[in-house]
Amino acid sequence: MMAANASNPASQTAAPGPIILLGAPGAGKGTQAKAIAALYGIPQISTGDILRDNVARSTELGKKADPIMKSGGLVPDDLMLAMVEDRLNQPDCQRGYILDGFPRTVGQAEWLDSFLGKALFGGRQMAPVVVSIEVSYNQLLQRLTGRRSCPADGKIYNIYFQPPRKEGVCDSCGTTLVQRKDDKEDVIAERLKSYERQTLPLVEYYGQKGTLHKLNGELAVEQVTATTLEVIAKAATK
C-alpha cells in the first residue's frame, strides 16, 4: 500500500476522500487508478484484492469465502461487504481511497452511502467523487480484442493502436505474441453485455445524486488523467 508521500505536494493537500471509478472492461480504470494513487498517496482498492487477502490471511471471512470461490460461485454480499468495511476502516484509508470495481450494483452503492455517512476524511464527511470513463462499444472491442502479449517478457501490444514492428512478434525478444482467451471477441461481447446489465444502473444512481462526472475515455491517457485529477481536486476543496 502506498502511504502519503511527503515529497508529493498533492499528498499534503486536502483529503481527496472516496473516489469511485466506473467504466466498462477496457475503459482504462486501472490506468487512471494508478495515477490517482501515486499522486495522492492513497490506496487503490478492488474487491478481488480484498478477497485474496482475506483468504491468504485465513480470516474468518476468508475461510467462509474460500470454498465458494474455489467452486466458482459468487461470494454473497453479506460476506463481501463485511470484508470491504474492514478494509475501508484501515489506517491507510483515512484521507481517502480509490474504489476500482466496487460498487458493482445499486444495492452495494446504497450500502456504501450508509457507510460513508459515518466516515470522516481529514476530519469531515465527504460524498464519493464518481468518475465514469466513457468509451464507445467499438473502441472497447478494438482495445480488448486487439491486445497481444509477449509470453517471455510480458510486453503488451495492440494490433490496432500499438502494433509490433513485425506482425505477431515481440519487438524486444522476437517471441511469438499471444492473445488471451478472454480477449476473444465472443468473450468480450459477453463481458460488455454483463457490464451493461449490472453496472450501468450505477451511472443513473450517482447521476441522480449529482456526484457523477462523465469523462471521454477515448482521449489520450494523459488528457483523461488530467481531467480526472481536476475533478477530484475541485471536489476535495468544496
**Catalytic pick among 29, 87, 95, 143:** 29
Q: Tell me the backbone φ, ψ of residue 127, rounded to 5 degrees.
A: -70, 150
- 118 part of the active site: no
User: Is cis: bond before 103, omega within 30 of 0?
Assistant: yes
- The pLDDT > 90 percentage for the chain reads 74
Answer whether residue 63 is part of any domain. no
pLDDT of residue 203: 92
**Catalytic pick among 63, 180, 184, 209:** 180
Please identify every stretch of the chain with a pLDDT value under 70, giving residue numbers as ranges: 1-14
Answer whether residue 25 is part of any domain. yes
- Three cell numbers, residue 156: 503488451
- 197 part of the active site: no
Structural domains of the chain, count: 1
- 147 part of the active site: yes
Mind listing the pLDDT tens digit for each residue in 132-150? Answer: 999 999 999 999 999 999 9
pLDDT of residue 3: 40
- 191 part of the active site: yes
Answer whether residue 77 is part of any domain. no
| Torsional sign, CA 111, 116, 118, 119 | positive
CATH of the domain at 13: 3.40.50.300
For residue 102, give its domain range. Answer: 9-42+95-135+185-236
pTM: 0.85
Gap between the Cα atoms of 53 and 82, Å rounded: 13
pLDDT of residue 182: 85
Answer whether residue 168 is part of any domain. no
pLDDT of residue 10: 52
**Catalytic pick among 34, 52, 104, 155:** 104
**Catalytic pick among 34, 64, 155, 191:** 191
- Three cell numbers, residue 32: 487512471
**Catalytic pick among 87, 143, 147, 148:** 147
